[in-house]
C-alpha cells in the first residue's frame, strides 16, 4: 500500500497542500504521463543551458583556436562542477527530500534543505581551493602548449572562486525538484542561461561598451548569472512556496541528515569524477597529436558533455519519482519509472548521435572555418566513430539518476570504473598493436560507452533495489 504524502492531521496551508498533491502524483499518477509532464520543462531548460555552452564555445572560437584549445582543457573541470552540484550532490538532495516527503515527513525535508545549503557551500570552497593549488599543474599535464595552458588558467581563476554561486543555485533548484515542482527550477535555469549568454559574450568580446576581457569574460558572465539565480531560488524556498515550513528546522538537524545526503552524493560524485576523468585522460591522449587535434576533439567532447544536461532533464524527474516511491516502499513502481525514463533518454540522445554521425559538420561548422582543416578532420572522425554509441551512454547515465532516487549508487560507480578501464586499456592496446592513430582513441571511447550502459542496465535488471526499499529514512 502507498503511504500518504503527509502523516500529519493538522490542516495544511495552500502551499503545503500543493506540495502534498505533487507528492501524491509521484506515488500514484500514470508513470509515462507524469514523467513526461515533469521532464518537459527540465528538458527545455537543459536545452537552453546547452545553448549557453554552445555560445561559450562560439565566443572562444572568435577569440581564436588557441583560446578554443584552452577552453577544451578547462571545460571538463567546469562540467565537473555542474555535474557535482546539479547531478551528483544535487540529485542526492532531491532524492533525500523526495524520500522524506514520500514517507510523510515534511519537517525532515525542511531540515534537509538547510543541511543541503551547508554542504553546497563547503564543497564549493573546497573545489575552489583545489583548483587554485593544482589547476595549472593539471592543465600542464594535458597539453604542452603554453598559450592554451595560460588561457585555461585564466578561465579557472575567475570561475572556481565564484563557483559557490553555481553550487547554491543548483542545490536550491534540487530542493525544489525534490518537492515534485519542476517548472520553477526550469524557469530559473532558463533565466540564468538567458542572462549568461549575452553577458559572457559582452564581457569576452567587449560588446555594448563592456570591457573586453577575453576568455576571462566567459566565466564571469556565467558566475554573475548563477549568483542571481541562487538568490531567487533561496528566496523562493524560504518564502514557504515549496510547502516546506522552516520554523524549528535548524533545531531538528542531526548527523543522520548529513549522512542521508552525503552517502548517496559521495558515491554519485565518484561516478561524476570518473566520467570527467575519462574525458580528461582522453584529452591528454589526444593532446599528443597537437593543438588542432585538441581543438577538434574538444568540440566533440563538449557535445558529449552536453548530452549530460539533456539526460538530466529526464533524470531529475526520475530522481524525484523514484525517491518518493522508494520512501513509500513501492519498489515495483520505482523500477518501472527507471526503465521507462532511461530508454526514453537513450532514444533522445541516440537520435542526436546518429544525426551527427552522418552530418558532423552540423556541429563542427558552428565553430570552425573550412581553413581549420586539421581540427575539422579530428572532429569528424570523433562523431563518425563515437556518436553512434551515444544511446548506451544515455541509458547508463539515466539509470544513474534513477539510482540516486533509490539511494543505491554501487552499480553506476562500477559502470563508470568499467568505462574508464575500457577507454584507457583499449587506447593503449590499439596504439601498440595498430597504426590507427587518433581513430584508435575514438574507437576505445565508443567501446567504453557501450560497456558503461550495458553494465549498469544488466546489474539493475538482475539485482533491483530491494535492499533500499526495505529501509525507512532516518528520523
In angstroms, the CA 408 to CA 184 distance is 28
Cα–Cα distance list, 183 to 75, 187, 234, 290, 421 (Å): 28, 6, 16, 44, 39
pLDDT tens for 48-61 read: 777 888 888 889 88
pLDDT tens for 277-309 read: 877 787 777 777 777 777 788 788 778 777 877
In angstroms, the CA 40 to CA 20 distance is 21
Supply the DSSP symbol for 425: H
pLDDT tens for 425-436 read: 998 898 889 888
User: 249 in helix, strand or coil?
Assistant: coil
pLDDT tens for 374-427 read: 888 888 998 999 999 999 999 999 998 898 888 888 888 899 899 989 988 998
Place of cell 552524493: 265
CA neighbor of 43 nearest in space, from 310, 303, 305, 304:
310
Are the C-beta atoms of residues 156 and 222 closer than 8 Å to each other? Answer: no
What percentage of the chain has pLDDT greater than the value 90? 42
CA neighbor of 283 nearest in space, from 309, 310, 302, 307:
302
Give pLDDT, residue 475: 42
pTM of the model: 0.75
Give pLDDT, residue 10: 52
Place of cell 559557490: 164
Which uninterrupted H or E stretch holds 255?
Answer: helix 255-287
In angstroms, the CA 474 to CA 357 distance is 48
Cell of 84: 557535482
* pLDDT(468) > 60: no
**What integer best gives the mean pLDDT of the chain?**
86
Amino acid at each position: 500500500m502507498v503511504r500518504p504524502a503527509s502523516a500529519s492531521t493538522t490542516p495544511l496551508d495552500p502551499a503545503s497542500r500543493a506540495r502534498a498533491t505533487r507528492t501524491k502524483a509521484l506515488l500514484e499518477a500514470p508513470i509515462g504521463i507524469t514523467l513526461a509532464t515533469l521532464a518537459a520543462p527540465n528538458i527545455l531548460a537543459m536545452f537552453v543551458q546547452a545553448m549557453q555552452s554552445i555560445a561559450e564555445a562560439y565566443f572562444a572560437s572568435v577569440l581564436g583556436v588557441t583560446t578554443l584549445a584552452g577552453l577544451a582543457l578547462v571545460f571538463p573541470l567546469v562540467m565537473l562542477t555542474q555535474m557535482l552540484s546539479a547531478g551528483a550532490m544535487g540529485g542526492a538532495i532531491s532524492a533525500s527530500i523526495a524520500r522524506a516527503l514520500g514517507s510523510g515527513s515534511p519537517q525532515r525535508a525542511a531540515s534537509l534543505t538547510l543541511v543541503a545549503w551547508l554542504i553546497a557551500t563547503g564543497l564549493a570552497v573546497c573545489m575552489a581551493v583545489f583548483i587554485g593549488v593544482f589547476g595549472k599543474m593539471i592543465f600542464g599535464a594535458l597539453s604542452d602548449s603554453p598559450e592554451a595552458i595560460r588561457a585555461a588558467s585564466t578561465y579557472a581563476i575567475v570561475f572556481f572562486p565564484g563557483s559557490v554561486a553555481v553550487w547554491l543555485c543548483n542545490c536550491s533548484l534540487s530542493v525544489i525538484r525534490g518537492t515534485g515542482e519542476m517548472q520553477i527550477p526550469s524557469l530559473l535555469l532558463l533565466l540564468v542561461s538567458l542572462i549568461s549568454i549575452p553577458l559572457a559574450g559582452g564581457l569576452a568580446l567587449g560588446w555594448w561598451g563592456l570591457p573586453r576581457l577575453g576568455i576571462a569574460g566567459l566565466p564571469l558572465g556565467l558566475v554573475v548569472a548563477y549568483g542571481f539565480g541562487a538568490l531567487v531560488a533561496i528566496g523562493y524556498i524560504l518564502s514557504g512556496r515549496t510547502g516546506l515550513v522552516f520554523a524549528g528546522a535548524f533545531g531538528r538537524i542531526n548527523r543522520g541528515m548529513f549522512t542521508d545526503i552525503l552517502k548517496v552524493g559521495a558515491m554519485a560524485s565518484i561516478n561524476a569524477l570518473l566520467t570527467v576523468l575519462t574525458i580528461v585522460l582522453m584529452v591528454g591522449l589526444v593532446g599528443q597529436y597537437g593543438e588542432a587535434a585538441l581543438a577538434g576533439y574538444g568540440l566533440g567532447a563538449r557535445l558529449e558533455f552536453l548530452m549530460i544536461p539533456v539526460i538530466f532533464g529526464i533524470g531529475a524527474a526520475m530522481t524525484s519519482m523514484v525517491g518518493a516511491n522508494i520512501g513509500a516502499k513501492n519498489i515495483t513502481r520505482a523500477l518501472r519509472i527507471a526503465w521507462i525514463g532511461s530508454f526514453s533518454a537513450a532514444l533522445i540522445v541516440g537520435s542526436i548521435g546518429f544525426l551527427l554521425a552522418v552530418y558532423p559538420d552540423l556541429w563542427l561548422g558552428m565553430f570552425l572555418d573550412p581553413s581549420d582543416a586539421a581540427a575539422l578532420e579530428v572532429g569528424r572522425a570523433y562523431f563518425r566513430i563515437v556518436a553512434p554509441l551515444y544511446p548506451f551512454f544515455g541509458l547508463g547515465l539515466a539509470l544513474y539518476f534513477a539510482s540516486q532516487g533509490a539511494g543505491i549508487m554501487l552499480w553506476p560507480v562500477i559502470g563508470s570504473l568499467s568505462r574508464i578501464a575500457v577507454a584507457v586499456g583499449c587506447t593503449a592496446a590499439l596504439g601498440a598493436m595498430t597504426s590507427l592513430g587518433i581513430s584508435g582513441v575514438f574507437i576505445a571511447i565508443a567501446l567504453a560507452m557501450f560497456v558503461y550502459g550495458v553494465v549498469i542496465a544488466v546489474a539493475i535488471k538482475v539485482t533491483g533495489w530491494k535492499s533500499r526499499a526495505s529501509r525507512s529514512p532516518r528520523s
